[in-house]
């Protein structure tokens, strides 16, 4: 799966959790754009794990601040 496909999965799962979401600026902090609480965030990661079969350790959460960072992180892990 390439970065573009991963990006589509990430956005789809994000919109499933926050259906009101319309556009996301890829380089801006995600939590400034979407109302995500801890449970939403955990559910988002669980969904990505199920769809992409990629495990995200808790220690890596801080690397996942923006949509761009999330896609880059997952793309690197998918290789």
Partner 1 sequence: MIEFKMPSLGADMDEGKLLEWKVKPGDKVKRGDLVAVVETPKAAVDIEIWQDGVVQELITKPGETIPVGAVMARLAAAGEAPAAAPAPAPAPAPARHPVSPAARKHARELGVDVEKLPGSGPHGAVTVEDVERAAKAAPPKKEAAPPSDKTLAMRKAIAAAMSRSKREIPHYYLSQTVPMQRAQDWLTTYNEKRPVTERLLMGALQLKAVALALKGFPDLNGFWKDDAFQPAQGIHIGVAISLRQGGLIAPAIHDVAELGLDELMKALADLVRRARAGSLRSSEMSDPTITVTNLGDQGVDEVFAIIFPPQVAIVGFGRVAPRPWAEDGMIGAVPAVVASLAGDHRASDGHRGARFLAAVAALLQEPENL
List interacting residues with partner 1 (CB under 8 A).
18-20, 35-39, 42-43, 45-46, 49, 55-59
Q: Which is nearer to partner 1, 1 or 36 (CB)?
A: 36
Contact 78, 54 (CB under 8 A): yes
Contact 27, 14 (CB under 8 A): no
**DSSP-assigned beta bridge partners for residue 29:** 66
Q: How far is the CB of 70 from partner 1 (least distance, A)?
A: 14
Q: How far is the CB of 38 from partner 1 (least distance, A)?
A: 5
Q: How far is the CB of 31 from partner 1 (least distance, A)?
A: 9
Q: Report the candidate in 8, 32, 28, 23 with the shortest Cα–Cα distance to residue 69.
A: 28
């Amino acid at each position: 799966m390439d970065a573009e496909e991963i990006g589509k999965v990430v956005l789809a799962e994000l919109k499933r959790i926050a259906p009101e979401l319309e556009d996301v600026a890829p380089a801006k902090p995600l939590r400034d754009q979407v109302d995500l609480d801890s449970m939403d965030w955990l559910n988002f990661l669980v969904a990505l794990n199920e769809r992409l079969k990629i495990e995200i350790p808790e220690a890596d959460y801080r690397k996942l601040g923006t949509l761009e960072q999330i896609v880059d992180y997952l793309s690197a892990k998918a290789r």
